[in-house]
A and B are shown apart, each in its own frame.
Chain A
Amino acid sequence: MLTQLSNQCRQDILKMINKAKAGHPGGSLSCIDILTYLYTKEIKLTKENVSSINRDRLVLSKGHAAPALYAILHNIGIIDSYETFRQINSDLQGHPNMNDTPGVDMSTGSLGQGISCAVGMAIGNKILENGHKVYALLGDGECEEGQVYEALMAASHYQLNNLIAILDYNGLQIDGAIGDVMNPAPFKDKFIAFGWTVIEINGHDFQEIKDAVQLAKTSEKPTMIIAHTVKGKGVSFMENKAGWHGKAPSDEELEKALKELQGGCNYE
């Protein structure tokens, strides 16, 4: 089920970026399994509750993965069409804008800021005593921003056990491998030192994603799920290639990628 749905989202991500002739395929494909799980099993988003804050919310701190967010929102029936992505006058901006798109809970695109906003939303939920969770999805390159650690510090200081962050640990940023550009590792020791519960998983395994989120819900502290992922996951020629960070596939490349994806789920 989830495998089929995320496979469909992968195809939509690529079609969207191809049509717009711009966008970020690599980091969208690495996080789509996580978003597929969260939006179908945890954040029970419906057309009725979409504009309410009385539900779990998610901050896409790595806002350039907007195509992944739009693809899952499309497939769960929140947004009708993604044809206008990145075009003028569109409600689907290149980076997500909460005032334009239903289901987008925070405007993001400048790296490092979303996690702070998620902390604020979690504090708000505590004050409102509404019991809702806040999820935040971070990039590994994004974790080079100092602001991320200021947010981590605040989250443990305020014991935000209603905050669950997921790190999309795909090992790549724009200029290359994160270890070559500016190494933010080791992640686990850092997050523990900042007072977070840390769980490490394979970010493309739905059972592991599910187990981690269930465990996070029982934690007394904020939880960071370090999800080991593959940038460009699912499309052989995009996998683990920094060059596919922010490049649109041509018509031929799209066709090749769709064929691969439609050939079935080449991983399980």
Chain B
Amino acid sequence: MSNMATREAYGLALARIVKENDDVVVLDADLSPATKTCYAKEARPDRFINAGIAESNMVGMAAGMAASHMKPFASSFAMFLAGRAFEQIRNSIAYPHLNVKLCATHAGITVGEDGATHQCNEDLALMRALPGMTVLQPCDAVETREMLNYLVNYNHPCYVRMSRLGVDSIYDENYKFELGKISTIIQGKSIAFIASGIMVSEALIAIEQLNQEGIYPSLYNVHTIKPIDQDKINSIAKSYDYVMTLEEHNVIGGLFSAVVEALKIPKIIYPIGIKDTFGESGTPEALMKKYEIHYTNIIDYTKEIMGHE
């Protein structure tokens, strides 16, 4: 089982894509060694635009490039892309529905030691609220690569949310990415975990231990947060006694909200996520425990809602 951060897989995929596609342009805002667009810069220096530490301008330039029939992929940390440049994204990209791929890395609290100013737990809420914006979050390296391959010929504004932390691979090489479709990873019974991003691998660890105690959760991966797979959400809601969402994002506005909004029948959804608070400095593991999104928290919460001792 290989371990790789989704941002690393993104950088590698993008370097290949920019080499093979003359109309792809890569933009960054002075973070290329961290977002991993540095590989694309190396592969095609003539298709790499460094905006400097000027994210709002980068987003505006990307919009202009799309208007000139280029295919821009613009990167920064989630905080400085979705956060800093929100209104530029809304009015210059989403409103004219331009073909810009906003590829954000370092989302969520697993940014770690840099602390609250760099830990974006609000980007899904912001991006989901934009009409016409596709919002994606890969859970491992293979899915990131397949998602990127798909996006090259997907001519719509799109936000991709990636992480700093390495994650174990979940999918094998034959995985096929299907936009808008929830992917089933484990078929279990009575409780369903609906997870996204790094929480998919966290859920897997929890499931392994829960199995030993006679609890067999299903695991669903929501790589497409918007448009959400409404049919699948409702069939999950009908088929299970308990449904839990797992996200590294504020429980307000992210996956939990998206799932609740998609329901056509009344159903209690139990959220694992950041409980409307800011993060802080610390190791990713210590932070996941403190903010209760660690696999141990998933295990405890599962047993609690299912009434197990």
Contacts and interface: CB of A to CB of B under 8 A. Distances in A.
B52 A95 contact: no
Interface residues of B, number: 31
A251 B247 CA distance: 37
A95 B50 contact: no
B155 interface: no
B281 A63 contact: no
Contact of A182 (B30, B283, B287, B290): B30
Given A86-B113, A94-B113, A175 B118 contact: no
A131 interface: no
Contacts of B51: 144, 182
B132 interface: no
A70 B66 CA distance: 45
A95 B282 contact: no
A208 B113 CA distance: 36
A154 interface: no
B118 A88 contact: no
B22 interface: no
Contacts of A86: 113, 115, 281-282
B52 A144 contact: yes
B57 A175 contact: no
A144 B54 CA distance: 6
B280 interface: yes
Interface stretch (A37-45, A108-116, A119-127, A231-239): A108-116
A174 B30 CA distance: 6
A181 interface: yes
Contact of A175 (B32, B54, B116): B32
B79 interface: yes
B53 A144 contact: yes
Contact of A141 (B30, B118, B280, B290): B30
* Most A C-beta atoms less than 10 A away, residue of B33, B115, B118: B115
Contacts of B275: none
B280 A146 contact: no
Nearest to A184: B52
A11 interface: no
Contacts of B178: none
Given A144-B30, A174-B34, A181-B30, A22 B113 contact: yes
A142 B115 contact: no
Given A141-B30, A145-B54, A173-B53, A88 B282 contact: yes
A145 B115 CA distance: 21
A262 interface: no
A181 B50 contact: yes
Interface in B257-289: 280-283, 286-287
A87 B281 contact: yes
Contacts of B54: 144-146, 182
Nearest to B31: A174
Interface in A50-77: 63
Contacts of A219: none
Given A174-B34, A181-B30, A110 B281 contact: no
A184 B286 CA distance: 39
8 contacts: A22-B114, A86-B113, A86-B115, A88-B283, A90-B280, A107-B117, A174-B32, A182-B54
A-B CB proximity, top 5 nearest: A182-B52, A109-B117, A88-B282, A144-B52, A94-B115
Given A86-B282, A175-B50, A181-B50, 19 more contacts: A21-B113, A86-B115, A87-B283, A88-B281, A88-B283, A88-B286, A88-B287, A90-B281, A109-B114, A109-B117, A110-B117, A144-B51, A144-B52, A145-B53, A146-B56, A173-B30, A173-B53, A175-B32, A184-B52
